[in-house]
């Protein structure tokens, strides 16, 4: 009789360690250090990235002469042990460098007549480096090959030096201005965290150049496709009880496949969830006869993001009450859009839309005061049903340029190249006792991404209709099969 038995595993005495420490085994480290083909990796980025970044650096250089400026890409927060959250480079860093490498630092050294920009990058953990196999977060054996410093320099037409070269120049950074992303470096660098640099970056980033507008158009176009992909899944989400999560996941998969990912947490709110402004939990069902609010944006590979909302009837037809709310929001939306042109005060779209909202709510008997009293600064009763802002600048960040001063943002006039959202809505909460029962639990938002042109505006998200008939027709055309 033959006995098959497994030999007991060999157990060397790795006393005091959780794992065999490979890095401490000379025979192993010597063996793994060699025998690897050296294949250069080129960075990939949208065409025109390096030229756009160079132009952005010129604008910052002109705005802040004589100051050495430090902007870092940042690093991903640790989730546990050696598992990190996904990394997304700092927007100011991306705007100035076109680079998305983690733990990188851009220094714009003040020199006579301007600035010399140097991009300091961590060296990849290539074969031959101990980190190649021992660093689970950055070693190429773990995370895949990444472009080397010469390849980055070539792709971005910028001087690139290894990060450790910055250590040797720390004393030269005394008094340099650091953006928030570099704040954790600032102590070691002797640089000064600079609200002035943040404000200036926000102001400069507010007017988009042609390349940035191309990126934003691409983000919006991919988002429109994503809306179609989501609406195609609505019948399945209803039929199989997969709920809002399935639709959220559908959009996020689309965004991750055709861009860098969602530009913000995707909002999918069915029925009573639609009036909940940041309904990102998305753990409810998709109800067949409810309005479905979809606030979704693809962040392109360049990291420019769209931010679009439509409220669609889940089975293709609005109820009378849903349609009435949609009509009023559409009217406010059009009033807002009408104000978007160069030379108009930024906030005019807000006031125009709010007038329509207040009048409409008053006509429905929902305001306890007159329209004028509601619209007065000391009133604002209509905002009970619209407690959020109804627009913002859009770019690398969904709420772009948020560090700008009042006079550069809220108090500024629109100029060509500004990209912003217009997004009025009405949010009738399910438990709002001021509302007639038929309005409770209806939330509608219409959000478009709008470019200020030389003569007026261009609605980048115009491929999605904003009128109730158009929304119904578009929805019916894209709903997937019900069985
Ligand atoms: N989705 C965020 C916003 O609309 O501002
Ligand atoms: Mn928005
Ligand atoms: Mn939005």
DSSP character string of 183-222: HHHHHHHT-EE-HHHHHHHHHHHTB--HHHHHHHHHHHHH
Query: What number does the ligand 1 atom closest to the CA of 447 have?
Result: 4
CB-CB contact of 89 with 101 (8 Å): yes
The rounded Å distance from CA 88 to ligand 3 centre is 20
Backbone φ and ψ for 394, nearest 5 degrees, come out as -135, 140
For residue 199, with 0-12 CB atoms within 10 Å meaning exposed, 13-18 middle and 19 or more buried, which class applies? middle
Q: Tell me, rounded to whole angstroms, the distance of Cα 86 from its chain centroid.
A: 13
User: Cα(130)–Cα(134) distance, rounded to whole angstroms?
Assistant: 6
Cβ-based neighbours of 155, under 8 Å, separated by 6 or more: 42, 43, 45, 50, 147
What is Dmax (Cα atoms) for the chain? 99
Report the alpha-carbon distance of residue 70 to residue 177 in Å, rounded. Answer: 6
Query: 3-state DSSP call for residue 327?
Result: helix
Ligand 1 site-directed mutation target among 295, 298, 401, most atoms within 8 Å of CB: 295
- Predicted pLDDT at 184: 73
With a cut of 70, list the residues of the chain below it in pLDDT.
1-5, 9-20, 186-187
Q: Is 307 in the pocket of ligand 1 (CB under 6 A)?
A: yes
Instruction: Compute the distance from residue 422 Cα to the ligand 2 centre, in Å.
Output: 7
Residue 109: name the closest of 166, 152, 147 by CA.
166
d(CA 210, CA 204): 14
Tell me the two tokens of residue 87.
């990394």
Report the nearest-CA residue for atom 4 of ligand 1: 307
Tell me the torsion sign for CA atoms 64, 65, 68, 70. Answer: positive
What's the pTM? 0.95
Q: 210-239 and 243-258 are packed helices; what angle lies between their axes, rounded to 10 degrees?
A: 150
The answer to whether the CB of 398 is under 6 A from ligand 1 is yes
Per DSSP, helices labelled H in 296-346 are 320-337
- How far, in Å, from the CA of 307 to the mean position of ligand 2? 5
The per-residue pLDDT for 5 is: 63
264 CA: nearest ligand 1 atom: 1
Residues 6+ apart with CB under 8 A from 399: 392, 393
Q: Is the shortest distance between the CB of 264 and ligand 1 below 6 Å?
A: yes
Residue 318 CB coordination number (10 Å): 24
Of ligand 1's listed atoms, the one at least distance from the Cα of 309 is 4
Distance from residue 296's CA to the centre of ligand 2 (Å): 9
Instruction: Please report the DSSP string for 50-111 in residue order.
Output: HHHHHHHHHHHHHHSTT--EEEE---PPEEETTEEPPP---HHHHHHH----TT-EEEEEEE
- Using the mean position of ligand 3's atoms as its centre, give its distance from the Cα of residue 251 in Å: 14
Atom of ligand 1 lying closest to residue 392 CA: 5
- By CB atoms closer than 10 A (0-12, 13-18, 19+), residue 12 is exposed
Give the pLDDT score at 461.
Answer: 98
Total residues found in the chain within this entry: 483
CB atoms within 10 A of CB 354: 22
CB 85 within 8 A of CB 288: no
Residue nearest to atom 3 of ligand 1 (CA): 307
Cβ(474) to ligand 1 under 6 A?
no
Q: How far apart are CA 165 and CA 416, in angstroms?
A: 41
Does the C-beta of 212 come closer than 6 Å to ligand 1? no
**Residue 284: C-alpha distances to residues 184, 245, 293, 410 (Å):** 40, 7, 13, 36
**Cβ proximity of 201 and 60 under 8 Å:** yes
Of 348, 340, 330, whose CA–CA distance to 424 is shortest?
Answer: 330
What is the distance in A from the centroid of ligand 1 to the CA of 333? Answer: 15
**C-alpha 275 – ligand 2 centre gap (Å):** 15
Which pLDDT score is estimated for 20? 65
**Cα-Cα-Cα-Cα dihedral sign, residues 447, 453, 457, 458:** negative
- Cα 294 to ligand 2 centre (Å): 12
Ligand number, closest to the Cα atom of 279:
1
3-state secondary structure of 182: helix
**Residue 229 CB less than 6 A away from ligand 1:** no
Q: What is the pLDDT of residue 62?
A: 98
User: Measured in angstroms, how far is the CA atom of residue 44 from the centroid of ligand 2?
Assistant: 29
Instruction: Please check whether residue 319 is in contact with residue 274, taking contact to mean a CB–CB distance below 8 angstroms.
Output: no
Q: Is the CB of 279 under 6 A from ligand 1?
A: no
Could you tell me whether strands 114-121 and 159-162 are parallel, antiparallel, or unpaired per DSSP bridges?
Answer: parallel
Query: What is the C-alpha radius of gyration for the chain, rounded to an integer number of angstroms?
Result: 27
Q: Please give the Cα distance from 100 to 163 (Å, whole number).
A: 15
């Amino acid at each position: 009789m033959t006995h098959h038995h497994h030999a007991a595993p060999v157990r060397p005495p790795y006393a005091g360690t959780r794992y065999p420490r490979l890095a401490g085994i000379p025979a192993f480290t010597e063996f793994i250090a060699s025998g690897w083909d050296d294949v250069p990796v080129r960075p990939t980025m949208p065409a025109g990235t390096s030229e756009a970044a160079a132009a952005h650096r010129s604008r910052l250089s002109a705005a802040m002469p004589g100051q050495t400026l430090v902007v870092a890409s940042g690093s991903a927060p640790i989730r546990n042990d050696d598992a990190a959250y996904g990394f997304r480079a700092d927007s100011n860093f991306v705007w100035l460098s076109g680079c998305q490498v983690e733990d990188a630092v851009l220094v714009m050294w003040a020199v006579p007549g301007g600035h010399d920009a140097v991009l300091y990058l961590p060296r990849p953990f290539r074969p031959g480096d101990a980190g190649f196999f021992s660093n689970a977060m950055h070693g190429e054996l773990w995370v895949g090959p990444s472009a080397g410093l010469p390849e980055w320099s070539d792709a971005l037409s910028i001087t690139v030096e290894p990060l450790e070269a910055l250590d040797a120049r720390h004393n030269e950074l005394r008094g340099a201005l650091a953006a928030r992303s570099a704040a954790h470096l600032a102590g070691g660098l002797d640089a000064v965290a600079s609200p002035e640099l943040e404000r200036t970056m926000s102001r400069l980033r507010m007017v988009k150049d042609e390349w940035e507008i191309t990126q934003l158009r691409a983000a919006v176009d991919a988002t429109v496709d994503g809306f179609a992909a989501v609406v195609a899944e609505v019948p399945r989400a209803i039929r199989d009880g997969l709920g809002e999560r399935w639709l959220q996941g559908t959009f996020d998969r689309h965004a991750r496949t055709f861009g860098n990912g969602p530009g913000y947490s995707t909002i999918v709110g069915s029925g009573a969830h639609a009036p909940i402004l940041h309904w990102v939990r998305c753990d409810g069902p998709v109800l067949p006869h409810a309005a479905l609010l979809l606030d979704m944006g693809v962040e392109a590979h360049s990291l420019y993001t769209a931010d679009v909302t439509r409220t669609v009837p889940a089975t293709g037809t609005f109820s009378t009450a849903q349609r009435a709310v949609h009509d009023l929001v559409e009217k406010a939306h059009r009033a807002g859009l009408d104000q978007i042109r160069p030379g108009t005060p930024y906030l005019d779209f807000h006031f125009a839309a709010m007038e329509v909202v207040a009048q409409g709510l008053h006509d429905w008997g929902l305001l306890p005061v007159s329209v004028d009293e509601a619209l007065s600064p000391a009133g604002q009763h209509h905002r009970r049903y619209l407690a959020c802002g109804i627009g913002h600048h859009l770019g690398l960040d969904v709420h772009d340029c948020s560090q700008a001063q009042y006079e550069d943002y809220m108090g500024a006039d629109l100029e060509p190249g500004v990209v912003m959202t217009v997004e009025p809505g009405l949010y009738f909460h399910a438990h709002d006792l001021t509302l007639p029962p038929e309005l409770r639990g209806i939330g509608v938002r219409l959000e478009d991404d709008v470019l200020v042109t030389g003569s007026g505006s261009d609605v980048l998200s115009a491929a999605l209709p904003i009128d109730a008939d158009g929304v119904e027709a578009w929805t019916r055309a894209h709903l997937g099969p019900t069985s």
